[in-house]
Amino acid sequence: MIKAGIVGATGYAGTELVRLITSHPKAEVSAISSVSFEGKKISDVYPSYIYLNDMVCENVNEVVDKSDVVFAALPHGLSQELASDCKAKGVKFIDLGADFRLNSENEYSEWYGGTFIDKNLHKEAVYGLPELFRNEIKGKSIIANPGCYTTCSPLALAPAVKNGLVKLKGIICNCASGVTGAGRKPNQGNHYPELNEGFHAYKAAQHRHTPEIEQTLSKLAKEKVTVTFVPHLLPVNRGILATCYADIKEGVSFEEIRKAYEDFYKDEYFVRLLPDGMYADIHNIKYSNFCDISLHYDKRAGKLIVCSAIDNMVKGAAGQAIQNMNIIFGLDEKTGLQILPPAF
């Protein structure tokens, strides 16, 4: 059994890791930590775990010492030293935060206000979006697990961008996320009376996930891609719906685009390309590691419209992290993640 430690286990992404790994046939939760709840049982924080997982939150050093792999579900700026400690002890490290996602230190400094503490460590880190970079992930020890918006938007656009079917200028990613994406700490924005029965954009054209989306698409296109990214907050707990727009190149038919998507994702278990006429819907991927994609053609405007839906806590966080763990330990990617979404 793979011994998996979880740092930040009482946050939403961390506790989702606890939930999923508890049912994993080849891994077990070896230790957990939480600054806010050290010394307390996780079932005291989340009563749904009572008698099923009553592990006590320990300190971070104990988690590293007891683990083959450590998942860090921490705010940005807190993972770099932990990654260094894990490397020194031969422990694999999967970061659900932002510290290793950006290749450019200048961009990291601009968007997150930090620096690369150990530049060599960053060179070893691999961006863990399996459907796009699987071969780079295999055998690696430090994985930068993508976030929610930065999973659903690139997956929506990857086949069109990589195959040169759309113009790279003017791409728009219009996304809406459930409130768990804001984290567990309460604030006025996710307070029930403020959130309920509302729907609004936030951080338009200035969200920190923007350079990450651009980095992935630029790598696929082999040239610089700039996108307009506008996130919205949905009054639901889980799910992200990304609606992405791109101008189709002259001479490219919608049938060609459809075929390119079918070929690109034909062997990807976790990406479900929906039949024509269906729309990706967060209802249909809840609690699962699936990304549903639907393709739409605005013939009048010559635009490709792609909708993608994921559960932001699973494919957008914990599920994808476990998918990465499966890859680096040589397991079938589906192991522990073949979860059927509920019908209602």
Tokens of 242: 């990304």
* SS3 label, residue 201: strand
Euclidean distance between CA atoms 53 and 49, whole angstroms: 5
Is 244 an annotated catalytic residue? no
Beta partners for residue 245, in sequence order: 172, 305
Euclidean distance between CA atoms 56 and 42, whole angstroms: 6
Task: Yes or no: say if 215 and 150 are a contact pair by the CB < 8 Å rule.
Answer: no
Tokens of 210: 């923007």
| Sequence-separated (6 or more) residues with CB below 8 Å from residue 206 | none
Beta strand residue intervals within the chain, DSSP E: 2-7, 27-33, 57-58, 69-72, 92-95, 126-127, 142-144, 171-177, 200-201, 227-233, 240-247, 271-273, 291-298, 303-310
Catalytic residue of the set 57, 86, 148, 175: 148
Catalytic residue positions, numbered: 148
